[in-house]
Amino acid sequence: MSIINRRNFFAGIGTGILGLSIGKHASASPAGIPSVEGGAAISAEPRIKKYVTLGNTGLKVSDLIFGSTSFFSPNVAEYAYDLGVTCFDTAENYMGGKAEEYFGKALKGKRDKVVIITKHFGRRSPGQKLTGKMLIEKVDASLKSLKTDYLDVVFFHRLETFDEIKDTDLLPTYEQLKKEGKIRFTGFSTHHAPVTLKECFDPKYKDFVQVVMFMYNHMEGKKIEPNIKKLHEKGIGTIAMKTMAGGKQGNLKSFVDDKVSYPQVAISWVLGNPDVDCAVLSMRSFSHAEEYIGASGRRMKRDDIAMLKRYRRDVNNEYCRVSCNECESSCPRGVAISDIMRYEMYFADYGHEKEAMDEYALLDKKRKPISCAGCSGYCTTACPFGLKVKDRLINTHEMLSA
Amino acid sequence: MRKLYRGLILFTILAFVVFAAITGYADKSDPDVDIIIKKNIEAAGGLDTIKSLKNISFEMATPPPYGYTQSVYHVASPNLLKLESGAIPAVDEVFVYDGTEFKENHYYVTPELAEERKVELKCFTKLISGAFTMMNFKDNLKFKETKKYGPEIHHVLTAKMGDCNVNFHIGADDFLLKRVIFDLSDKEKGLYQKTYDLAGFEEVDGLKLPMMMYTCDIGAGASARGSEISIRNLKINQDLPKNFFRDTKLNYGSVTTEKGHLEGNLILTLWIGSREYRHITTNFKEEDIKKSELKSNDKIKLEVGDKSYDALFLSSASEMNEELRKSGNVVFAKHSRAPVYIILMHGQKFESVENLETLTKIKIDKIEKQK
């Protein structure tokens, strides 16, 4: 039995008899079983074990959402669907626009059984004027790529502060699109939760803020937990992202046994918070889908806590809690420290080199760490976790500019 | 009485149907491994075409912006591999495998290859020489299971290689190799899997070969997030030199050093248009710089091919500041991610610098301060 099969053995028992259970949604009939001396048993796989309602939207979704920052084939999404995933998250710019197209292909014929989330304006230049007309064009482009006539949830992507949208005509345009039936629900995704999760309760954003996606994991997020609770109490859908705290297990040792892996434990921790509806995960390959889905409905165990402790100990002085932001106010030059550290994470930990470099190129030149070498390093002093922030900024600048 | 007979007959028929169904189900045995292998070989071009394969070479590259370093695989038999890596044609690392042992040369250092990496290379040597079929694994394969991945159905065959189980996924519709999964165990990392997903099959000289791979580690391992690799510049049956598969020579040339003077070669050059600078990788290493006794902020005369520049030496690229990035400045500094030194030339005028072929000569002389 392979590692993954061993890991998911109990999940297999829970979902059906080996060979008879292909999957709740699986369209494969015995006719789909190979012709070579047919009749071989199809192996049992992990399955989604928990479905939740996203806030007050009434949308029922799997506790794990298929994230699409990078996946090598539309068949990976279709596989996740077969394993019970019913919510698919994308953005206009993921994989250079290819992610929406992949979903269009993978989810054909399943539209009424799935919830699709997409996002716009993730890549905006400093000072760029955002308009309702742009939003309409973007929504139409997404509908075309996704081969659908409605989007379940549309997010303003990577909101830093509501100041970015409050004086635009975006909010009335979102409402207009809802009336037209092109979109059903709205909200935002954010890496600046300490700011945006406070601002979002302003009554003037009530209609817009229906679902929120924020960074939350076992290494950061404690600070925003009261606001997550408030969101939940107000019936706003809550989705956690960046759940693996950098996913640095690849560089570490002994983070897996034959029953449970670090990502599964990290996901369980996030979903252990009753105010978090679900978690979004980039399922890049069939194997990632199996591994992550193995964590659906799973509860934390004593050994898990020890594993997370070990992870925190090992990466404590290395992992930047980018939503913490303690360092940024200390910088006399206004360097966009948390954004730059996030791009470093995309580049070094996620392997999204091109995306990281493109994002960095869009950053306002004045907010880049160009003349940090001569600074005494206020950011390093301010970091509550002892990270060598200044050195990392300088190296990241080199890395993302070269 | 008639009713009883009718009941008995019905019961007998029912019992027969149930028995037939049960035994019929049980008779549905695992797919025949030999048939799967045969169909797999046929799908990839057929036994004769694969046997006519004397050698095969291709580049495996990650997508831009880091696509400028590649690995080039050369395979001539199930037991003959040469793997060259670097900014091709400049090669800074070579592995050779002759069926019994591996030899490695990385910047003229010979580190010991990890056991799991050896298994991986041995497996890929067999696979590549068999045009990504099961041809060279025939005697060692067992049927494991049939797996469904969305619309794809795979027959999974497994082979033991060293301490590792290797799982080969063969598409049930086209019988091409779709996945290779290594079940690995490491004293420090514990159990983990290394996976390769193969896609983009194209026909080349009668062979159907994958042009794309996606690799990731599940559990522990170095590339948990995975990466996409494209296969390109595929060449079949080239005339290769006699000792080609034994030769571990690197081709980026040697360095000569003395106090205040260095001579070496250009390994790679890139023009970064969006930021208007030229990036040149050299073959100078830390020990060369030590011998030359260059110190940060030393002024140097830099010759690249037939061009000469006044430049500044920095012990690390992170010492760069805005002033030095101004147009016209040339800096020689240590690469932030590789054990070699780089030259950075800032300004539009450096876009069209001529004579910057790989292995172009580079000379560096310290400019002594005038007394």
What are the pLDDT digits (tens) for A54-80?
999 999 999 999 999 988 899 999 999
Spans of chain B below 70 pLDDT = 1-5, 8-30, 62-69, 107-111, 187-190, 220-225, 273-275, 322, 336-338, 355, 370-371
Q: Are residues B321 and B343 in the same domain?
A: yes
Q: Which tokens hold the place of A301?
A: 């165990």
* DSSP symbols for B134-146: SGGGGGG-EEEEE
Q: Are residues B51 and B184 in the same domain?
A: yes
pLDDT at site B8: 66
Q: Which tokens hold the place of A8?
A: 């998911």
**Residue range A387-391: mean pLDDT, rounded:** 86
pLDDT at site B337: 63
Q: Does residue B50 lie within any of the structural domains?
A: yes
> What is d(CA A43, CA A54) in angstroms, rounded to the nearest whole number?
32
Which of B 166-185 lie inside 8 A of A, CB atoms? Answer: 167, 172-173, 179, 181, 183
Neighbours of B277 (CB within 10 A): 23
The domain boundary, picked from B210, B225, B246, lies at B246
pLDDT at site A342: 86
Q: Are residues B110 and B160 in the same domain?
A: yes
Q: Are strands B227-236 and B256-258 parallel, antiparallel or unpaired?
A: unpaired
Q: Are residues B70 and B209 in the same domain?
A: yes
Q: Are residues B97 and B206 in the same domain?
A: yes
Geometric angle at alpha carbon B103, from B99 and B108, rounded to 5°: 165
Ramachandran angles phi, psi of B45, nearest 5°: 135, -10
pLDDT at site B17: 54
User: What pTM did the predictor assign?
Assistant: 0.78
Q: Does residue B97 lie within any of the structural domains?
A: yes
| pLDDT at residue A43 greater than cutoff 70 | no
Q: Are residues B143 and B219 in the same domain?
A: yes
Neighbours of A374 (CB within 10 A): 8
How far does the CA of residue A338 sit from the closest CA of chain B (Å)?
A: 19
CA distances from B366 to B281, B298, B337, B369 (A): 19, 7, 25, 9
Residues A76, B150: C-beta atoms closer than 8 Å:
yes
> What is d(CA B223, CA A351) in angstroms, rounded to the nearest whole number?
8
pLDDT at site A5: 33
Which of B 106-125 lie inside 8 A of A, CB atoms? Answer: none
Which has more confidence, A202 or A338? A202
Residue range(s) defining the domain that contains residue B149: 33-246
The residue among B35, B37, B144, B146 with the most chain A CBs within 10 A of its CB, best to mutate, is: B146
Question: In B, which residues are within 8 Å of A36 by CB distance?
Answer: 31-32, 35-36, 39, 155, 172
Q: Are residues B285 and B338 in the same domain?
A: yes
Chain A within 8 Å of B226 (Cβ-Cβ)? yes
Question: What interface predicted TM-score (ipTM) does this complex get?
Answer: 0.76
The domain boundary, picked from B214, B246, B278, lies at B246
Neighbours of A353 (CB within 10 A): 20
Residues A286, B321: C-beta atoms closer than 8 Å:
no
Q: Does residue B27 lie within any of the structural domains?
A: no
pLDDT at site A126: 76
CATH of the domain at B344: 2.40.30.90
Question: In B, which residues are within 8 Å of A250 by CB distance?
Answer: 217, 220-225
Residues B181, A76: C-beta atoms closer than 8 Å:
no
Q: Are residues B46 and B176 in the same domain?
A: yes
CA distances from B102 to A71, B73, B111 (A): 34, 14, 11
> What is d(CA B290, CA A260) in angstroms, rounded to the nearest whole number?
48
Contact B211/B231 with Cβ under 8 angstroms? yes
Which of A 90-129 lie inside 8 A of B, CB atoms? Answer: 106
pLDDT at site B216: 84
pLDDT at site A315: 82
Residue of chain A whose alpha carbon sits nearest to that of B272: A402
To 10 degrees, what angle do helices A262-271 and A302-315 make? 110
How far does the CA of residue A252 sit from the closest CA of chain B (Å)?
A: 7
The domain boundary, picked from B228, B246, B264, lies at B246
pLDDT for A207-246, tens place per residue?
999 999 999 999 988 889 999 999 999 999 999 999 988 7
Chain A within 8 Å of B146 (Cβ-Cβ)? yes
Chain B within 8 Å of A258 (Cβ-Cβ)? yes
| pLDDT at residue A162 greater than cutoff 90 | yes
**Most confident segment among A324-333, A342-351, B222-231:** A324-333
Which has more confidence, A20 or B230? B230
> What is d(CA A188, CA B309) in angstroms, rounded to the nearest whole number?
52
- Dihedral angle of Cα A98, A99, A101, A106, to the nearest 10 degrees: 140
Residues A255, B220: C-beta atoms closer than 8 Å:
yes
Ramachandran angles phi, psi of B186, nearest 5°: -130, 140
| pLDDT at residue A328 greater than cutoff 70 | yes
Q: Does residue B4 lie within any of the structural domains?
A: no
pLDDT at site B107: 65
Q: Are residues B322 and B241 in the same domain?
A: no
- Give me the number of domains chain B comprises: 2
Q: What percent of chain A has pLDDT over 90?
A: 52
Q: Are residues B323 and B277 in the same domain?
A: yes
Q: Sorting pLDDT into bands at 50, 70 and 90, what band is A4? A: very low
pLDDT at site A27: 29
pLDDT for A92-141, tens place per residue?
999 889 999 999 999 999 999 999 999 999 988 777 899 999 999 999 99
pLDDT at site B26: 41
> What is d(CA A162, CA A58) in angstroms, rounded to the nearest whole number?
26
Q: Are residues B171 and B316 in the same domain?
A: no
Chain B within 8 Å of A394 (Cβ-Cβ)? yes
| pLDDT at residue A260 greater than cutoff 50 | yes
How far does the CA of residue B227 sit from the closest CA of chain A (Å)?
A: 7
Q: Are residues B237 and B326 in the same domain?
A: no
pLDDT at site A19: 26
Q: Does residue B23 lie within any of the structural domains?
A: no
Q: Does residue B197 lie within any of the structural domains?
A: yes
CATH of the domain at B169: 2.50.20
Q: Sorting pLDDT into bands at 50, 70 and 90, what band is A262? A: confident
pLDDT at site A72: 87
Question: In A, which residues are within 8 Å of B274 by CB distance?
Answer: 361
**Number of helices (H) and strands (E), helices first, in chain A?**
16, 10
The residue among A1, A3, A85 with the most chain B CBs within 10 A of its CB, best to mutate, is: A3
Residues B226, A2: C-beta atoms closer than 8 Å:
no
